[in-house]
Structure 1
Amino acid sequence: MQIQRQLKNKNSSQLMSLALLGILVLLYAPLLLYWWDGWVKKSISIEHEYFSHGIIGLPFAGYLCWMNRKKWQRLPNTSHPLGAALLVVGGIFYLSGVSEWVNISFPLILAGLCLWLKGIPGFKLQGFPLILVLLATPTSVPYLITPYTLPLQSFIAGTAGFILTQLGMQVIVDGINIYVGGRIVEVAPYCAGLKMLFTTFYVGLMLLYWTGALSSRRKSIWFLSIAVLMSISANIVRNTLLSFFHGTGQEGAFHWLHDSWGGDVYSAIMLLLLIPVLNWIDAYFSEVTETQHEGEA
């Protein structure tokens, strides 16, 4: 009798999980497809393109949830009141019809379900996938940050102008404008490298989690700091090349790197370089730890 009751409860739990999954698919599949299509074809708004790292981040979050499924099933069914609150707020946002609120409702609903079904332990178990979903959810954050990027734009323009001057070119830098051969290249807010910074930070978090280095605060801080410096340096080089191409009349090369697949290749190479950097940091701090232990012994 007890075995039958356990089987019945297990089947009920599985049916409930499948029902919730089906509802989520019906509600959010069109939205996710819209994001995906916009990111791949670059047909979405400029601000939403800043979150194109979701192309790799969202599938990775789904993979992590799948890998945690057995741990999830073993957790006791306990509800946290915050879960119900998040579900209500997420539902209101979804029904509002306001595009940004509908977007934000996605991570809210997922977090609410974790808390409602499994409480704090379930929320902690799915914590990193939820972070990946949140950071890949298109919002107006890039638009809000843009007015404050002027110092970064000026720094990039000045550095790019200095590099071109060292190459023997006649360059004039005026604020965020670079004049090369009588042609002007503007380091606009959306050329200040914010998108690359967002992507670098996001991919950096994924690498830290995948390698287990995220558990070390020291390794994480060093790696993310170096990654940010690499991103800024790569954007300076990119703007220098764009200024060179435009100033010397190489419009084909300019458009290839600026708004064609050349920019994607450039970004991909930069992101791949993060892997040996993380390996080096991991090896370095492992050596330091071993040396300290030997000294104590």
Structure 2
Amino acid sequence: MTTEKLKRNFPLTEQTLLLSAIAFLLLALYAPVLVHWYDGWLNKSISIEHEYFSHGLIGIPFAAYIAWTKRHRWQQLANRSHLLGGILIGLGGIFYLSGLPHFVNLSFPAILSGICLWLKGIPGFRLMGFPLLLVFLATPTDVPYLIEPYALPLQSFIANIAGFILSSLGMDVTVEQIYLFVGGRVVEVAPHCAGLKMLFTSLYVSLMLLYWSGAIASRRKTSLLLGGAALISVTANIIRNTLLTYFHGTGNAALFDWLHESWGGDLYSAGMLGLIVVLLNVIDREDEEWDDEAEADKLESEQS
């Protein structure tokens, strides 16, 4: 799949000019798209499903930062082209020219990946693999529409747990599938309220933390943090839906709106993400203690 026909040893100045031209072209093509994404995420002026990707607010700049820190290693790679790079660039161009929002969005990671493969081949793609992954996972797509029908078990689980908690507190609560009836009022645990957005954000931020701390090199740390982040997200959403049901059932509209649609929800999400940072610190500390114990056992066995 690899061809050496277009292999060149560009002087640094020519290579810099080429990369600058590509950067300006990408900026001209995708600046309006990125502005649309950020405006929608910040002002919540896009669909709920596209809000699922609001982690791109920090993820895309972080991806750009990682790519920038790897620029010297990029320049040291041999110039070689991979056929898949041309295919992805062509496919991305077709997607962009289609004018369909979903395909225009997907063209962004497709063209970025294609450029890496076309300029530096597989080594370049591997070097930029993580920032490309961050961009892809932050690109608004129709995936939430496809996932939502399968979220019913999670919605039902959260509704039943929230109903159990409120019943234990003495409230008259009736649970029917994903609906909670309290004081003549009904609360629906919709897919968005079931925490799919928070789950996506939790896992995405966990990946960023793993990379930043270097823990991503450890399968054990990666598995523990991603699993713990998912558990924290589900637990946090059970508590959140319990509070929302309580506020709505008792007629406390101000607190309901504050937690559901105002900055209270953002504050709650920030607190949840803070717990993930704490979890990573705990995992790191336990891992260090594990290494110390293993080293002590090794020394003891050698002395004996």
- The aligned counterpart of 2:166 is 164
- Across the aligned residues of Structure 1 and Structure 2, the Cα RMSD in angstroms comes to 1.2
- The aligned counterpart of 2:272 is 270
TM-score normalized with structure 1 length: 0.96
- Residues 74-104 of structure 1: CA deviation (Å, up to 9, x unaligned): 1111111111111111111111111101100
The number of equivalent residue pairs is 291
The 3 A distance-change label for structure 1 pair 146 and 8 is closer
Candidates 283, 286, 295, aligned match of 2:285: 283
Q: Is 1:186 aligned to 2:188, yes or no?
A: yes
- Residues 89-131 of structure 1: CA deviation (Å, up to 9, x unaligned): 1111111111101100100000000111111111111111000
Once the two structures are overlaid, the 10-residue window that deviates more, 179-188 or 127-136, is 179-188
Deviation at 1:8, TM superposition (A): 8.0
- The aligned counterpart of 2:236 is 234
What are the equivalent positions in structure 2 for 1:60-209 lying under 5 Å apart? 60-209=62-211
The 3 A distance-change label for structure 1 pair 110 and 8 is closer
- Residues 259-288 of structure 1: CA deviation (Å, up to 9, x unaligned): 111111100111011111101011112221
**Matches of 2:176 and 2:289, distance apart in 1:** 47
**Matches of 2:209 and 2:191, distance apart in 1:** 28
Deviation at 1:165, TM superposition (A): 1.1
Amino acid at match of 1:163: I
Deviation at 1:9, TM superposition (A): 2.1
TM-score normalized with structure 2 length: 0.94
**Matches of 2:268 and 2:53, distance apart in 1:** 18
- Residues 18-75 of structure 1: CA deviation (Å, up to 9, x unaligned): 1110100000000000000000000011111000000000010011111111111111
**Matches of 1:15 and 1:150, distance apart in 2:** 52
**Matches of 1:78 and 1:85, distance apart in 2:** 15
* 3-state SS of paired residue (2:54): coil
**Matches of 2:47 and 2:271, distance apart in 1:** 25
Deviation at 1:168, TM superposition (A): 1.2
The 3 A distance-change label for structure 1 pair 248 and 8 is closer
Q: Percent identity?
A: 60
* 3-state SS of paired residue (2:79): coil
Q: Is 1:59 aligned to 2:61, yes or no?
A: yes
Amino acid at match of 2:92: G
Unpaired segments ≥5 residues, structure 2: 1-8, 300-304
* 3-state SS of paired residue (1:77): coil
Deviation at 1:290, TM superposition (A): 2.6
**Matches of 2:94 and 2:295, distance apart in 1:** 55
Amino acid at match of 1:130: L
Candidates 255, 269, 286, aligned match of 1:253: 255
- The aligned counterpart of 1:4 is none
Amino acid at match of 1:278: L
Once the two structures are overlaid, the 10-residue window that deviates more, 273-282 or 130-139, is 273-282
Amino acid at match of 1:148: Y
Runs of 4+ in structure 1 over 3 Å off: none
Deviation at 1:12, TM superposition (A): 1.3
**Matches of 1:137 and 1:290, distance apart in 2:** 42
* 3-state SS of paired residue (1:190): coil
* 3-state SS of paired residue (1:178): strand
